[in-house]
Amino acid sequence: MSIVLVQKINKGNGVRVMSGISVIILCTIFAYMCLLIGVGVYNARKNSSSEDFYLGGRKMGALVVAMSAEASDMSSWLLMGLPGVAYLTGLADAFWTAAGLAIGTYLNWLFTSRRLRRYSEKIGAITVPTFFAKRFHDEKNIITAISAVIIVVFFVPYVASGFAACGKLFNSLFGLDYMVGVVVFAVIIVVYTIAGGFTTVATNDLIQSIVMSIALVSIVTFGVSSAGGMGAVMDNARSLSGYLSLSAIHDAVAGSAIPYSPLTAVSLLAWGIGYFGMPHILVRFMSIEDENKLVLSRRVASIWVTFAMGVAIFIGIVGLAVVNAGGMPALEDSERVIIALTNELSKNGFLAAVLGGVILAGILAATMSTADSQMLVAASGVSENIVQDFLGKKLTAKQGLNVARATILGIAVIGVFLARDPNSSVFGIVSFAWAGMGAAFAGVMICALFWKRTTLQGALAGMIAGGVMVFVWKYVVRPMGGILDIYELLPAFLISLAMIIIVSLATKAPSQDIIDEFDSVNVKK
């Protein structure tokens, strides 16, 4: 029996009959969705202020903060994009990307989390744009508005990539229209995010990280068995030229290895830089109830993200071994490898079908945990930073929350529109959005926390230069090829950092009030 929807259509009445296994899986996923919505409804009554809605009142525990940060980070890229890259081209690209992210995760928690938590509380900042404005005493809120616009510009396609992953999942599994899946899950994410705010998002992220872990372990265990054991998996990988190399990628069409320079590896490692500029991750640091608990959060987050990415890469390698062993058909879309493996797993009876439903819920979890966080951050940017701070519209707590909720709905609508192409690459969309946010904010955040000489003008120059350079490098410079064919985040970040330093040194030094504030925050406790 197949997991895939049985498309038996009676020409007389147009009735579609679904297989028993498909029904089991749908029921499992439905139960999971009800759980997430239930958490949102339960937490709805806890949101009486903007700080509650955007930061959970700064009352989040260490475990919730750790797993919420990493679950919201990984997105559908973890269970679809990363295994897809490994399946198609081998170890190198996936490994260097994951290594950069693992290192970046640890360093971000180690150096940024405590200072940002302390600094944001002292100056009363509940969003990243507000932090920048209050850090540099920007009374006109120019940096606030620019930051919020950048967040919206890059987070909307990021959210769209998540919706696309949901659409692909439902189309692959049940033969349902791709756009039906996109719309259904967009509605679910919007409902529980609007209802419960940050507390709901963080709590659901914890649940979703657990589900993702179950999915990863289950599918890799089944895949290895289906391929004929670990020896068969490795033998298959070794038989493919360049597949296990860290300095080349496998060309499936030509059956040969394509070498690349150490510069390419460095550019992939640069993915880790992005962590220092991701608002949906940085706000997790700001939300924890006690900065001393960040040590535990750092350890949990670093271990989990390394484990999750390692297993995800291996799933791609295992998936190709299963295909070559005749265990499942070759994939037209490499990003659907985990879906295809789940399809095969679910053919093995009731319990296997339930487990298949859990695994598919894990894919949805990865998608939803990122989309909800990004929509919440974007909403805070519009409501708090553009409407109230920059435009000077004074809103009551209720009005502010209503504007935020309307923004979430608007972002979802645009995201659904952008996700209408079922052939879009999850990995490609995520990589560009990640580069944009990292280049615009990472340098500014690092300098804001660690260099007291940073000026408002320098921060603005670096932010704008980084964001613009991502587009320039992606669409103008990188197509030239050669040594210029590197991930746009690295050159854009370096240019942003250079502009911050040059402009800061060329402009008037920060006031004594700013210096004193900086020094008081950075006193060791």
pLDDT on residue 152: 83
Cα distances (Å, whole numbers) of residue 136 to 128, 237, 457, 521: 13, 53, 9, 14
pLDDT on residue 47: 59
Q: How far apart are CA 215 and CA 252, in angstroms?
A: 27
Q: How far apart are CA 263 and CA 240, in angstroms?
A: 24
CB neighbours of residue 398 within 10 Å: 10
Residue 425 confidence class, pLDDT cut points 50, 70, 90: low
Which tokens hold the place of 376?
């919440």
Strand partners, 257: 250
Distance of CA 512 to the CA centre of its chain: 39
Question: Phi, psi at residue 249, to the nearest 5°?
Answer: -120, 155
Q: Does 467 have pLDDT greater than 90?
A: yes
Residue 16 confidence class, pLDDT cut points 50, 70, 90: very low
Q: How far apart are CA 421 and CA 127, in angstroms?
A: 32
Going by C-alpha positions, the residue among 176, 185, 131 that lies closest to residue 371 is 185
Task: Give the range among 22-36, 62-76, 111-125, 307-321 with minimum mean pLDDT.
Answer: 62-76
Q: Does 230 have pLDDT greater than 50?
A: yes
Q: Does 175 have pLDDT greater than 60?
A: yes
Report the chain's mean pLDDT, rounded to a whole number. Answer: 83
pLDDT on residue 10: 40
Task: Give the range among 65-74, 77-86, 411-420, 507-516 with minimum mean pLDDT.
Answer: 65-74
Do 372 and 203 contact (CB within 8 A), yes or no? no
Its pTM stands at 0.83
pLDDT on residue 374: 77
Tally DSSP H helices, then E strands, for the chain: 20, 4
Which tokens hold the place of 199?
């507390």
Going by C-alpha positions, the residue among 374, 349, 31, 315 that lies closest to residue 186 is 374
Do 137 and 511 contact (CB within 8 A), yes or no? yes
Greater confidence, 51 or 289?
289
Residue 9 confidence class, pLDDT cut points 50, 70, 90: very low
Averaged pLDDT, 451-477 = 95
Averaged pLDDT, 321-339 = 88
pLDDT in tens, 256-281: 888 878 888 888 888 899 889 988 88
Cα distances (Å, whole numbers) of residue 56 to 46, 143, 169, 284, 295: 8, 25, 32, 10, 20
Residues 6+ apart with CB under 8 A from 369: 68, 71, 72, 74, 75, 204, 205, 208, 209
Averaged pLDDT, 461-487 = 91
Domains of the chain: 8-433 (1.20.1730.10)
Q: Within 392-488, where are the H helices?
A: 397-418, 426-450, 456-472
3-state secondary structure of 17: strand
Q: Does 11 have pLDDT greater than 50?
A: no
Residues 6+ apart with CB under 8 A from 150: 436, 437, 440, 441, 463, 467
pLDDT in tens, 332-391: 888 888 888 988 888 888 888 888 888 887 777 667 777 777 777 777 777 777 777 777
Strand 248-251 versus strand 256-259 pairing type: antiparallel
Rounded to 10 degrees, the C-alpha dihedral 219/225/231/232 comes to -100
Greater confidence, 462 or 52?
462
Q: How far apart are CA 482 and CA 315, in angstroms?
A: 31
Task: Give the range among 247-251, 296-300, 360-364, 405-409 with minimum mean pLDDT.
Answer: 360-364
